[in-house]
Amino acid sequence: MQRALELAATPGVPLGPNPRVGCVLLAADGTTLAEGFHLGAGTPHAEAAALATAREAGVDVRGATAVVTLEPCNHTGRTGPCALALVEAGVSRVVFATGDRNPVAVGGAETLRAAGIEVESGLLESESRELNRVWAFAVEHQRPFVTWKFATSLDGRSAAMDGTSKWITSAAARQDTHRLRALADTVLVGTGTVLADDPQLTVRDADEVALPDQPLRAVMGLRELPARARIFDGSAGTTHLRMHDPREALAQLFARDRQHVFLEGGPTLAAAFFKAGLVDEVVAYVAPVLLGTGRNAVADLGIETIADARHLRVTDVAVLEAVGQDTCVRITMSTASTHPEGN
């Protein structure tokens, strides 16, 4: 199963919209017969890829064990059902890490058992879920996973009194931001950010991250945007979500097969998403800088007493240091415990 997870995470495999899946076919004595992994939407699934490799090599897989990181699918889309392919191939046992959360594809385990195939699940389940955490979240919640990223001074300011904010954090932190952008399929800001800063919102300086396509640039708000704005430079797709409702914005993005939103807007947009319970992860870059006054990193959240403070769970802390430059700390936090029921 560890090898199947390694295959699923092969560099260059798209992070979505399909899950990353790996498969290893084993003989009765435990030797590997064939391997396969999913290369992205429209390509053979991991099980089909492994079976095809075995056929091309003239390897008989009857009686084999299929070890897969995700429950074999049970539906016909652009490719056929993997559960049926395994039945027809004559495997005798299937071990998968985690069940398929997609209601369209679920049911593979039942199909396999009905055909007399031994089925086991749960092996390295947490590792498999972590590999596809964004995909699993989007499928289960029917909306994109939202990562809110912001940079702040030690005293919680995102800009000085005169509005200047370039650059609070170090070059290393800015490069790290591009790395995280590359892990999302959408970068979202408000119209205010576009009008004030004219950002390009593309991934740059992230060579270590496989990037088949630039993330979609999404701008939320009712104000018109100038045609000369850099978000319309053609270097990536751009959409203008003419609304103020974060939930509707996510619904529109989900309808476009978007599963991971990297929220980079200003304090007002961040507060709107946070108050709606639609922020799932927070990435804060904290620089060794004091401003004393200026723009807060987030606008009013409606909290009047410490008892109502929004508590986050720290999941990672990293010190980012550019050679000869400032040191910056990246803190990654989960908001899972702060979500209202149903989010």
Instruction: Tell me: is residue 328 an annotated ligand-binding position.
Output: no
Residue 56 bears catalytic tag: no
Instruction: Tell me: is residue 171 an annotated ligand-binding position.
Output: no
Instruction: Tell me: is residue 266 an annotated ligand-binding position.
Output: yes
Amino acid present at 217: R
Q: How far apart are the first and last CA of the chain?
A: 31
Instruction: Tell me: is residue 165 an annotated ligand-binding position.
Output: yes
Angle at which helices 46-56 and 82-89 cross, to 10°: 30
CA 94 – CA 83 distance, rounded (Å): 10
CA 300 – CA 178 distance, rounded (Å): 28
Residue 34, CB-side half-sphere exposure with 13 Å CA sphere = 23
Instruction: Tell me: is residue 264 an annotated ligand-binding position.
Output: yes
Instruction: Tell me: is residue 272 an annotated ligand-binding position.
Output: yes
- Is the sign of the CA dihedral 70, 76, 82, 84 positive or negative? positive
Tell me the DSSP string of 154-209: TTSEEE-TTS--TTSS-HHHHHHHHHHHTT-SEEEEEHHHHHHH-------S-TTS
Instruction: Tell me: is residue 335 an annotated ligand-binding position.
Output: no
Instruction: Tell me: is residue 197 an annotated ligand-binding position.
Output: yes
Instruction: Tell me: is residue 260 an annotated ligand-binding position.
Output: no
Instruction: Tell me: is residue 267 an annotated ligand-binding position.
Output: yes
Instruction: Tell me: is residue 269 an annotated ligand-binding position.
Output: yes
Rounded (5°) CA angle 14-140-265: 65
Instruction: Tell me: is residue 271 an annotated ligand-binding position.
Output: yes
Instruction: Tell me: is residue 181 an annotated ligand-binding position.
Output: yes
Query: Would you say how long the chain is, in residues?
Result: 343
CA 47 – CA 68 distance, rounded (Å): 7
Catalytic one of 35, 47, 71, 281: 47
Q: How many CB atoms lie within 10 A of CB 292?
A: 9
Lookup result for tokens 């199963």: 1
Instruction: Tell me: is residue 82 an annotated ligand-binding position.
Output: yes
Instruction: Tell me: is residue 193 an annotated ligand-binding position.
Output: yes
Catalytic positions, please? 47
Binding-site sequence positions for Zn(2+): 45, 73, 82
Binding-site sequence positions: 45, 73, 82, 151, 165, 167, 181, 193, 197, 201, 204, 264, 266-272
Binding-site sequence positions for NADP(+): 151, 193, 197, 266-272
Binding-site sequence positions for substrate: 165, 167, 181, 201, 204, 264
